[in-house]
Structure 1
């Protein structure tokens, strides 16, 4: 299977964005499409990058991030359809994001994940991220803070 990757400076077209929301809901639970769309709306004024992986026009993965502060990029959201995992899609999305960041002059990429998402944690570590801290939320979830120097 050969995926096609599309990069958008900002948000993708509406139909693609709807496909991202559907995929996100399949992978992550507890958030309505309206809540996710509201989060997207809050990102409209940021320097956003969206990368989408498709297989025959079906969205099978995506990665979104934005400028956290000058020189520093935050890898915000992303996932791969469970039926398409272990094919290198997440790694390719990450590689493309980091290559783009380098060409735009970013020095670091930061991301957050949780211990429950071990595959993402391992992927980040394999791609050069270091765990630089933790954040405990009000609902007792511990979030790992990872950062990579480009």
Structure 2
């Protein structure tokens, strides 16, 4: 497994892989690239196996010291192999090296595996709120 870092929209082949995984999980990737372009200091970590994108994790800067871990996913054929954990470790290592002190993320109760992964990796629940769709969102942060 190889891991690649991007600080901008990746080349077409990689982006197609990200969009496929995103579509499978979130059922809509139509606006993802447009949203990515508007993020400050975006960072994308991609897991590649046999020239194929099997997972991604992306986020962006909130401030000089705080980074928001925004979206991510693992191809269903590669789940439960520790890839999401490895992507998180790679992202946090990069963030530490670049001076960030805190990483924040948000999740929902229905994304239980993500919530558990975050808690197991040192995130603390900071707050909750109800989003525009009436779903409770959980705000988590980790000191790097």
Fold match (TM-score > 0.5): yes
Aligned residues: 144
Alignment partner of 1:28 is 2:54: no
Q: 2-side partners of 1:10 and 1:102: how far apart?
A: 19
Q: Normalising to structure 2: TM-score of the pair? A: 0.95
**Equivalent of residue 49 in structure 2, options 55, 73, 77:** 55
1:57 Cα offset (Å): 1.1
Q: 2-side partners of 1:8 and 1:36: how far apart?
A: 16
Tell whether the 8 Å contact from 2:47 to 2:54 is kept in structure 1 after alignment.
yes
Q: 2-side partners of 1:42 and 1:141: how far apart?
A: 25
Q: Normalising to structure 1: TM-score of the pair? A: 0.92
Unaligned runs of 5+ in 1: none
SS of 2:67's equivalent? strand
**Equivalent of residue 37 in structure 1, options 23, 30, 33:** 33
Alignment partner, residue 15 of structure 2: 17
Alignment partner, residue 90 of structure 2: 96
SS of 1:22's equivalent? helix
Q: 2-side partners of 1:83 and 1:60: how far apart?
A: 8
Q: 1-side partners of 2:76 and 2:63: how far apart?
A: 33
1:42 Cα offset (Å): 2.1
Alignment partner, residue 133 of structure 2: 139
Instruction: Name the Cα RMSD after superposition.
Output: 1.1
Runs of 4+ aligned residues of structure 1 deviating over 4 Å after TM superposition are none
